[in-house]
Structure 1
């Protein structure tokens, strides 16, 4: 929810020379094209789907959101490189969030091709497949533990959710065909891609590194102009920020690679951006700890002491959805402070209360 660099809204991608969301199949390297697909939300305008071309067909990294506009645009842009849906052989999905997974799953089923996903994201799919039994928004409980009971009720109100949120289409959330565990290598035509497990944004998040070409298909793990949301995943994870920062350190140990992000422009250095992200979260941890100097607080209350987005907006000026995201992300920072021995936590009827040590 925060950024330390140029706004994504004004970012030009070097492969196109245009705004990164501009329609097209933009060549980022020999045999690799970036296709931005639309998202029906205000915060993020598009997701980049990457097409790897081989003699036996196409492999796509991520698939987009299963909405008609995205499907139609993907078909049209594949046509620009002389291909179509019938040429797709596999989807390598970075993580389970719907803007990455659902169109891949729908097309994978229709075409009879493999959809690959990290096994750590299987529990989220299990929840989505049982969505009809949900009596409230799946994040409402997380918001209450963050001390944001009023936000939980607002998230539960019909006005805060689309029809898909209330009752997801099960065809969008069918299980993957192949589950990734640990780090492994995948052959994509003549290419060898390292599938690197990078939990944090979600438990099953993967990045795909093609070392020979100097490329990192980064998903939402390393974004060039914004910081990925942390703590916005179901089932709840105790240490999402700790996992995320450890995964950043893991990616930092790889060679310095060109970032091919899911959101934003192509960027030149994974090392530089990882260093920025790690520094950013250390600053947020320090700010969160400083907020506790006034006494025990919930994550919702600590979030009110922090600035949000690259413009440092006050917490209470954010919309309902963004405040909920901010509260959950703040809780992730506070839980890491507890793990580091810098704070303590106490479960109360009003949510988890944190105190500085």
Structure 2
């Protein structure tokens, strides 16, 4: 089997692609998602499998995983443990469902605990604070539209607590391979990546993606400065030895460091654009987001669907809050609206 070196071929094509000896990339489909697929990584040692991330709990993803493992002469019964980079459904949900069926161990970053406990708590709406915050950010119309979307039954079905919590510096030994868990908050509070320093591999989850920037600022319990957290996590990864980038979405690429440098430069430019919008007179996060362009196609905010408009406003607020922390803007709440002003 030829090694998967991140060619220009469609990275979402189904199969099991060897990225290093004993390590396979398995793309699993996503439902109605612009990302189209999520990469699950299979680590093989003898008759024992460890999987990094698990995919969305839909029939198509389960079938694709079964087929890929069959090509390797395995089945999901051979999976001993899931190491999950973060709690988003496309990474975590299928592990929950397979554990119910087969009893394998599921591990998740400790920083995800507050968000997960809120998500599964009875009589709690995990979207409540996010919708309140959207109104504070000047996006009441989005909050109203999103409040009509029922999610409780889906959340109950797809989320449970893990078997154990991963912490920064934990070492996971699988055969002769040692993975170092590295806390990388930003995309979510408890995101972790797994660094195989001997094989020069970084299982990056959504922290470092080769073609897009991870969303920032959307989760039930938001940190005070999520973009600051994210940039700090990028700097932390940049200080570690370089490695091949094994992302959750997109092809394998040769250098984590090269992509980290691009992401840092992107957010530096985005901070400047965000500050300039405030100087021109936009004061709420929604007003600023309306002046910016979105995705690689440079779309207007109104060109996005409702969910991605929410992500755009939340990410704009994350940039605005970092500008406040840097002393480049000020922030005040007036009559239920958060206003950002030039210093």
Equivalent position to 1:77, from 60, 68, 77: 68
Q: Work out which structure has the larger RCO, using CA pairs closer than 8 Å and 6 or more positions apart in sequence.
A: 1
Question: Within 5 A, what are the aligned runs for 1:305-316?
Answer: 305-316=291-302
**TM-score scaled by structure 2?**
0.95
Count of residues in Structure 1 that have an aligned counterpart in Structure 2: 340
* Structure 1 residues 136 and 49, CA gap change in structure 2 (3 angstroms): closer
Deviation by residue 1:97-116 (Cα, 9 ceiling, x = unmatched): 00000101211232222111
Deviation by residue 1:297-344 (Cα, 9 ceiling, x = unmatched): 010101111111112111222221111110000000000011111111
**TM-score scaled by structure 1?**
0.91
Shift of 1:257: 0.7
Distance 2:200 2:168 in 1: 22
Are the aligned partners of 1:15 and 1:27 in contact in 2 as well (CA < 8 Å)? no
* Structure 1 residues 233 and 133, CA gap change in structure 2 (3 angstroms): closer
Equivalent position to 2:274, from 285, 288, 313: 288
Are the aligned partners of 1:131 and 1:167 in contact in 2 as well (CA < 8 Å)? no
* Structure 1 residues 334 and 174, CA gap change in structure 2 (3 angstroms): same
Match of 1:244 in 2: 230
Distance 1:17 1:337 in 2: 37
Equivalent position to 1:65, from 53, 56, 71: 56
Distance 2:31 2:129 in 1: 20
Are the aligned partners of 1:16 and 1:26 in contact in 2 as well (CA < 8 Å)? no
Are the aligned partners of 2:293 and 2:300 in contact in 1 as well (CA < 8 Å)? yes
Q: What is the RMSD of the two structures over their aligned residues, measured on CA atoms?
A: 1.7
Are the aligned partners of 2:193 and 2:203 in contact in 1 as well (CA < 8 Å)? yes
Shift of 1:178: 1.0
Alignment pair present for 1:91 and 2:82? yes
Alignment pair present for 1:304 and 2:290? yes
Distance 1:303 1:133 in 2: 29
Match of 1:107 in 2: 98
Shift of 1:351: 2.5
Alignment pair present for 1:351 and 2:342? no
Consecutive unaligned residues in structure 1, runs of 5 or more = 1-12
Are the aligned partners of 1:22 and 1:36 in contact in 2 as well (CA < 8 Å)? yes
Equivalent position to 2:42, from 41, 51, 54: 51
* 3-state secondary structure, aligned to 1:18: coil
* Structure 1 residues 171 and 177, CA gap change in structure 2 (3 angstroms): farther
Are the aligned partners of 1:65 and 1:99 in contact in 2 as well (CA < 8 Å)? yes
Deviation by residue 1:30-85 (Cα, 9 ceiling, x = unmatched): 00011100100231100000000012500000000111111111111100000001
